[in-house]
């Protein structure tokens, strides 16, 4: 390779738009993930708000049936694939290399590719609002409602292709993080010394790697049914719509744990830090996470208790589903064990983490109610389930993500958020969340099905629907307060020290924000909660906080350089994806996209590994 | 299988019922789809199982949230507090809080599994007929309405077709064979039983038994497209003799209209293309191999003027099934027609007329996406559009279909 010179040199933009487009720094990519996903989270919130306004009273005619169906489909798809997963990925990106004492992820360019591909998937999905209608068959896309006979428009296709592209992004990211966690740990950072967030990230990424191929296969089959008149799910030709349900939920249930395990990791870090105590029962916490992930593969049919599988399969899935409550309970009890006799500081992250434990417990209890198939026969597809998933995914995952945002905000931005406003925001979120979702338990038990755009005034559902809508408006205000606090503090907040919380893990041992190379000297790890131990025992001199300015020390650090090509390949996927959704000509646009992608891949593999002198930033 | 623990569960159930209902009631008195206010054996069994886990869950909830609150106040960081003791775990505690949930879950699993098997077979009903001939009704889902087919008591090679409103005998288990002609729907009457999905070509079955007369609300529970929210139906449970006369009446031919406008309507029903989708005979043959003949695209209208609800939703009668003090208002007379306790016809011709007219004038307003406005000649072809008089004639004809 040394004799060949690649025509296009690697980019060297230290700032500006080109820097963001070509960066392969895990911290910048983490910020890109976080900001993008938070905007998408807000868009999913707007979709939810529109639905709640339509349902605020009986017989409202604010939103049509068709648009309502698109709204709840897009809301579910957005929150799962475009909000919670990438918000978790933002933390994986930013925090994992710092927690394990690494300078970057194992494959920095692949990491950039993951982000841009995620964005491509998001664009393909969201743009469908403006290109003839969004997908409208539910986020679960049950056949045969997704068939071309039932649903001839491009909405379903945009959903299929978007999920495929997002799947590529998730898989690339997951392999990257698995290799990073296995191979890039600092000396002494054995697996049983990993911070719990890193552990949960590791387990989550194993789940992603195993679960996404299943949905990929299902989506390919569906696309082939729709585009090439194949018959995987076509009843008229002997296809089986229940096959789709099995494929979807074999993916879909591990997906639930993909959403919640990172949240559990974040909460574990925060409760430990703000109680000034090590995580109670660390080995049990790790094992419980692994067991939840493992058993997540044995419970998919509890989403199908009313499908008519017969009493024996229902019994089996009842028992396996109930069993998952045990490791989940272990987690909750161990968080409380961590707080016991602790010295608890109620900063905003801790409030959200405690909110997580309190709300997730409610979601867990209603989850056990659904695991009991007899009881579930009345609850399935009612607002009781809507309440349950929001206690798990909003009271659970989103509370934890908000906790994580406040917790790592000083590290990421080098500035403190507004604590008083943060606490007010927590209480408003907590109250509004319960006003929105608790009454939905009543509605479900009162026989209100999910996914209905209207209801009759005589059903007895008026009051609690009105209350729920009121709560959702409060919740929207709370989320705007989050945005306000973060956006303002990012520019004008008090400067943050490297270790504002008296932290326990390695990310707090370096400056805020961390220098591009993270660690001047790769730390050697002697303990679980190594940074805490180092501070307390002073066994060795701690690396000086504020090392970011220590350019002399950082002189020999070689970092990989930015690259155009991950972005180019993702553009190819975007264009290729559009070509599959809107097949003009004989998939001409897809062919163009594929060519762009292939050029990108070749250029990626051929571009020089490093150039000796570019005189930029820290890559001396 | 129920009897051993039934009495205790009932007591608990009743105690909770009061609290729950009070909570749920909010401001309005009517809760036609409440899963607590059960009238069916299966629904009662499922509600009892819910109560078990509800109470167990409440205990867990109070314990966990209470402990959390206690710690929040007890272990709040104090001024100048040093580092707390760095405990890493406690094996005994961890074993206890692993084992305890296991025990609770085993206790909850036993009645659940019993309930699953109970709901799977109508022979679990104490009233299962000794001759094994429980009533068997075919339920067929359509976007967005329900078709019901009863065995014709006069001819075993035929079925009787009705739409959106079904009658069942009280105190007998009724078996249902569930099917769909298009997408997946779900058959759900909350007061009688939890739902089972209606999947094309999947031969699902379920059963329920109403232990009290009543008119029960049903609704499709599986998202099935644009008008999923409007896919509703009613189940009317009456004593066996009344059910038999209702079924005999439904098996009969539609009445011939005599009034001029109605005769005009009947002719229009054929010439405008309505009859292409809507049958005016309730009898349908069963194939020699026992399989069903696919019916017409739209609901059967043979006895549409006897239905208490239009589209299974809009009321065609002034009176409820029973009044506020629980006194029954609806009876089926010897001719098989619903009558009021005071002897008057139960269905109000004025309400029915109004409902039919509203519907035919603009079906899209009541059921967005419906196939009639999508495919029906009078709605897609301006040349064939129905005039005001056409609609009046059609309604006049339909009003005669008692």
* Mean local confidence (pLDDT), B377-381: 92
Residues near B228 by Cβ (< 8 Å), separated by ≥ 6?
Answer: A69, A449, A451, A452, B144, B220
| Closest in A339, A374, A458 to B71, CB measured | A339
Name the residue in chain A with its Cα closest to that of B32.
A459
CB–CB contact B78 A454 (8 Å): no
Q: Is A417 on the interface with B (CB under 8 A)?
A: no
CB–CB contact A361 B105 (8 Å): no
Residue A475 to residue A41: CA distance in whole angstroms: 13
The residues with which B255 forms a beta bridge, in sequence order, are: none
B187 sits in which H/E element: strand B185-189
Q: Predicted ipTM?
A: 0.92
B window 81-110, beta carbon within 8 A of A: 81-90, 93-94, 97-98, 101-102, 105, 108-109
CB B150 within 8 A of CB B272: no
Exposure of B266 by Cβ count < 10 A (0-12 exposed, 13-18 middle, 19+ buried)?
buried
pLDDT the model gives residue B24: 56
CB–CB contact B200 A308 (8 Å): no
pLDDT the model gives residue A547: 43
Q: How many CB atoms lie within 10 A of CB B53?
A: 26
B46 vs chain A: nearest CA distance in angstroms? 5
User: pLDDT category, B23, cuts 50, 70, 90?
Assistant: low
- Which one-letter DSSP state was computed for residue B312? T
> Which chain A residues are closer than 8 Å to B49 by Cβ?
372, 374-375
CB–CB contact B183 A448 (8 Å): no
CB–CB contact A344 B76 (8 Å): yes
B129 vs chain A: nearest CA distance in angstroms? 23
B335 vs chain A: nearest CA distance in angstroms? 31
Q: Which residue has the tokens 């002198």?
A: A613
Residue A194 to residue A97: CA distance in whole angstroms: 11
Q: Is B281 on the interface with A (CB under 8 A)?
A: no
pLDDT the model gives residue A1: 44
Q: Is A352 on the interface with B (CB under 8 A)?
A: no
Q: Is B13 on the interface with A (CB under 8 A)?
A: no
Helix, strand, coil abundance in chain B, percent, nearest 5: 40, 20, 40
Residues near A289 by Cβ (< 8 Å), separated by ≥ 6?
Answer: A196, A199, A200, A203, A261, A264, A265, A327, A331
Q: Is A191 on the interface with B (CB under 8 A)?
A: no
Name the residue in chain A with its Cα closest to that of B105.
A322
Residue B27 pLDDT > 90: no
pLDDT the model gives residue B129: 94
A345 vs chain B: nearest CA distance in angstroms? 5
| Closest in A284, A315, A449 to B113, CB measured | A315
Q: Is B193 on the interface with A (CB under 8 A)?
A: yes
Nearest-10 Cα torsion for A379, A383, A385, A386: 170
User: Before A380, cis peptide (omega within 30)?
Assistant: no
Nearest C-alpha neighbor of B97 from the set B64, B56, B57, B66: B64
CB–CB contact B221 A137 (8 Å): no
Nearest C-alpha neighbor of B309 from the set B348, B282, B277, B279: B348
Q: Is A538 on the interface with B (CB under 8 A)?
A: no
Tokens describing residue B332: 């089926």
Q: How many CB atoms lie within 10 A of CB A315?
A: 18
Q: State pLDDT tens for residues A110-125.
A: 999 999 999 999 999 9
User: pLDDT category, B207, cuts 50, 70, 90?
Assistant: very high
pLDDT the model gives residue A47: 97
Residue B72 to residue A334: CA distance in whole angstroms: 15
B233 sits in which H/E element: strand B232-238
A window 214-273, beta carbon within 8 A of B: 235, 240-242
> Which chain B residues are closer than 8 Å to A380 by Cβ?
194-195, 221
pTM: 0.93
User: pLDDT category, B29, cuts 50, 70, 90?
Assistant: low
CB–CB contact B197 A306 (8 Å): yes
CB–CB contact A346 B98 (8 Å): no
CB B53 within 8 A of CB B109: no
> Which chain B residues are closer than 8 Å to A501 by Cβ?
none
CB A334 within 8 A of CB B95: no
Name the residue in chain B with its Cα closest to that of A238.
B201
pLDDT the model gives residue A14: 77
Residues of chain A predicted below pLDDT 70: 1-5, 538-556, 610-620
Q: Is A333 on the interface with B (CB under 8 A)?
A: yes
A114 vs chain B: nearest CA distance in angstroms? 33
A181 vs chain B: nearest CA distance in angstroms? 24
Q: Is B119 on the interface with A (CB under 8 A)?
A: yes
A window 301-320, beta carbon within 8 A of B: 306-308, 310-311, 314-315, 318-319
User: pLDDT category, B4, cuts 50, 70, 90?
Assistant: very low
The larger pLDDT score, comparing residue B353 to residue B294, is at B353
pLDDT the model gives residue B295: 86
Nearest-10 Cα torsion for B242, B245, B251, B252: -140
> Which chain A residues are closer than 8 Å to B82 by Cβ?
343
User: pLDDT category, B30, cuts 50, 70, 90?
Assistant: confident
> Which chain B residues are closer than 8 Å to A354 by Cβ?
68, 72
**Long-range contacts formed by B52-59: CB under 8 A, 24+ apart:** B52/B9, B52/B107, B52/B108, B52/B111, B53/A368, B53/A369, B53/A372, B53/A375, B53/B108, B54/A369, B54/B16, B55/B12, B55/B16, B56/B104, B56/B107, B56/B108, B57/A365, B57/A366, B57/A368, B57/A369
Nearest C-alpha neighbor of B175 from the set B142, B201, B139: B139
pLDDT the model gives residue A13: 75
| Pairing, β B185-189 against β B309-310 | unpaired
Q: Is A35 on the interface with B (CB under 8 A)?
A: no
Nearest C-alpha neighbor of A255 from the set A301, A207, A198: A207
- Helices and strands in chain B: count of H runs, count of E runs: 10, 15
List the Cα angle A117/A122/A125 in 5-degree steps.
130
DSSP-assigned states of every residue in B115-181: HHHHHH-GGGSTT--TTS--EEEEEEEETTEEEEEEE-TT-TTEEEEEESEEEEETTS-EEEEEEES
Residue A80 to residue A9: CA distance in whole angstroms: 38
What's the alpha-carbon Rg for chain A, to the nearest Å? 24
B window 318-357, beta carbon within 8 A of A: none
> Which chain B residues are closer than 8 Å to A278 by Cβ?
86-88
A69 vs chain B: nearest CA distance in angstroms? 7
Three-state DSSP state, B214: strand
Q: Is B370 on the interface with A (CB under 8 A)?
A: no
Residue B207 to residue A35: CA distance in whole angstroms: 52
Nearest C-alpha neighbor of A179 from the set A97, A293, A258, A95: A97
Half-sphere exposure of B203 toward its Cβ, with a 13 Å CA cutoff? Answer: 2
Three-state DSSP state, A27: helix
Residue of A147, A445, A533, A535 to mutate for B, most B C-beta atoms under 10 A: A445
pLDDT the model gives residue B22: 58
User: pLDDT category, B281, cuts 50, 70, 90?
Assistant: very high
CB A168 within 8 A of CB A219: no
The length of chain A, given as a count of residues: 620
């Amino acid at each position: 390779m040394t004799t060949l010179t690649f025509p296009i040199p690697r980019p060297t933009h230290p700032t500006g738009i080109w820097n963001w487009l070509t960066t392969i720094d895990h911290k910048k990519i983490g910020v890109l993930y976080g900001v993008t996903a938070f905007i998408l989270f807000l868009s999913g919130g707007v979709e939810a708000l529109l639905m709640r306004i339509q349902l605020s009273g009986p017989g409202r005619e604010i939103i049509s049936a068709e648009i309502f169906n698109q709204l709840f489909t897009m809301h579910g798809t957005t929150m799962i694939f475009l909000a919670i997963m990438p918000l978790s990925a933002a933390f994986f990106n930013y925090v994992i290399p710092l927690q394990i004492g690494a300078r970057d992820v194992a494959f920095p360019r692949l990491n950039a590719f993951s982000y841009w591909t995620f964005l491509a998937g998001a664009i393909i999905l969201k743009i469908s609002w403006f290109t003839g209608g969004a997908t409208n068959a539910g986020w679960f896309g049950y056949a045969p409602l997704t068939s071309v006979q039932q649903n001839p428009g491009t909405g379903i296709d945009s959903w299929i292709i978007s999920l495929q592209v997002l799947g590529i992004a998730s898989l690339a990211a997951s392999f990257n993080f698995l290799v990073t966690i296995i191979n890039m740990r600092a000396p002494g950072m054995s697996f049983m010394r990993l911070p719990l967030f890193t552990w949960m990230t590791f387990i989550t990424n194993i789940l992603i790697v195993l679960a996404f191929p299943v949905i990929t296969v299902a989506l390919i089959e569906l696309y082939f049914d729709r585009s090439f008149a194949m018959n995987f799910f076509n009843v008229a030709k002997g296809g089986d719509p229940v096959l789709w349900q099995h494929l979807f939920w074999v993916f879909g249930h591990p997906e639930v744990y993909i959403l919640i395990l990172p949240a559990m990791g974040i909460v574990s870090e925060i409760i430990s830090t703000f109680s000034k105590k090590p995580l109670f029962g660390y080995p049990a916490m790790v094992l419980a996470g692994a067991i939840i992930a493992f058993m997540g593969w044995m419970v998919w049919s509890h989403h199908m208790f009313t499908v008519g599988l017969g009493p024996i399969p229902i019994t089996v899935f009842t028992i396996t589903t109930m069993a998952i409550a045990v490791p989940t309970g272990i987690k909750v009890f161990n968080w409380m064990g961590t707080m016991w006799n602790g010295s608890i500081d109620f900063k905003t992250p801790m409030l959200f983490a405690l909110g997580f434990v309190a709300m997730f417990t409610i979601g867990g209890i209603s989850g056990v109610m659904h695991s009991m198939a007899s009881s579930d026969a009345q609850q399935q597809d009612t607002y009781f389930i809507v309440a349950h998933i929001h206690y798990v995914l909003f009271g659970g995952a989103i509370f934890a993500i908000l906790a994580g945002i406040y917790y790592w905000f000083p590290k990421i931005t080098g500035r403190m958020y507004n604590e008083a406003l943060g606490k007010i925001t927590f209480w408003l979120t907590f109250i509004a969340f319960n006003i929105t979702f608790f009454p939905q338990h009543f509605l479900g038990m009162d026989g209100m099905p999910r996914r209905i755009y209207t209801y009759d005034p005589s059903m007895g559902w008026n009051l609690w629907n009105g209350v729920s809508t009121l709560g959702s408006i409060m919740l929207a205000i709370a989320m705007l307060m989050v945005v306000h606090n973060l956006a303002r503090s990012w520019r004008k907040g008090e400067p943050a020290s490297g270790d504002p919380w008296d932290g326990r893990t390695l990310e707090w041992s370096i400056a805020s924000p961390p220098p591009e190379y993270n660690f001047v000297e790769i730390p050697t790890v002697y303990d679980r909660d190594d940074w805490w131990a180092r501070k307390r025992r002073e066994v060795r001199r701690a690396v000086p906080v504020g090392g970011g300015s220590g350019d002399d020390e950082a002189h020999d650090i070689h970092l990989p350089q930015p690259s155009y090509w991950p972005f180019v390949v993702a553009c190819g996927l975007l264009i290729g994806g559009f070509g599959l959704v809107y097949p003009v000509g004989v998939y001409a646009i897809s062919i163009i996209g594929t060519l762009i992608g292939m050029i990108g891949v070749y250029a990626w593999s051929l571009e020089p590994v490093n150039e000796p002198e570019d005189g930029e930033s820290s890559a001396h | 299988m129920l009897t051993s623990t039934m009495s205790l569960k009932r007591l608990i159930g009743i105690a909770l019922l009061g609290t729950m209902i009070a909570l749920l009631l909010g401001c309005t008195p009517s809760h036609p789809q409440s899963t607590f206010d059960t009238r069916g054996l299966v629904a009662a069994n499922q509600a009892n199982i819910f109560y078990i886990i509800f109470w167990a869950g409440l205990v867990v909830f109070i314990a966990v949230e209470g402990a959390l609150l206690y710690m929040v106040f007890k272990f709040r960081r104090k001024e100048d507090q040093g580092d707390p003791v760095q405990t890493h775990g406690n094996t005994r505690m961890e074993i206890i809080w692993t084992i305890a949930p296991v025990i609770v879950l085993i206790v909850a699993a036993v009645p659940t599994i019993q309930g699953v098997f109970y709901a799977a077979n109508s022979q679990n009903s104490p009233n299962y007929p000794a001759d094994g001939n429980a009533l068997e009704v075919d339920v067929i889902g359509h976007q967005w309405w329900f078709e019901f087919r009863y065995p014709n008591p006069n001819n075993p090679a035929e079925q009787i077709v009705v739409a959106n409103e079904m009658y069942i005998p009280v105190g007998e288990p009724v078996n249902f064979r569930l099917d769909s002609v298009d997408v997946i729907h779900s058959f759900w009457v909350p007061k009688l039983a939890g739902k089972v999905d209606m999947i094309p070509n999947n031969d699902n079955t379920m059963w329920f038994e109403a232990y009290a007369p009543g008119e029960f609300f049903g609704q499709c529970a599986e998202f099935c497209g644009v008008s999923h929210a409007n896919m509703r139906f009613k189940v009317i449970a009456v004593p066996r003799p009344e059910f038999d006369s209702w079924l005999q009446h439904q098996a009969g031919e539609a009445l011939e209209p005599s009034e001029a406008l109605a005769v005009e309507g009947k002719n229009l029903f054929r010439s405008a293309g309505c009859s292409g989708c809507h049958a005016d005979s309730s009898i349908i043959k069963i194939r020699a191999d026992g399989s069903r003949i696919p019916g017409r695209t739209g609901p059967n209208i043979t006895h549409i003027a006897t239905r208490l609800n239009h589209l299974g939703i809009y009321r065609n009668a002034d009176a409820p099934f029973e009044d506020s003090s629980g006194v029954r208002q609806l009876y089926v007379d010897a001719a098989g027609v619903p009558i009021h306790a005071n002897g008057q016809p139960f269905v109000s011709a004025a309400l029915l007329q109004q409902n039919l007219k509203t519907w035919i004038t603009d079906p899209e307003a009541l059921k967005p996406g419906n196939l009639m406005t999508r495919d029906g000649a009078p709605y897609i072809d301006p040349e064939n559009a129905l005039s005001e008089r056409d609609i009046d004639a059609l309604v006049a004809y339909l009003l005669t279909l008692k």
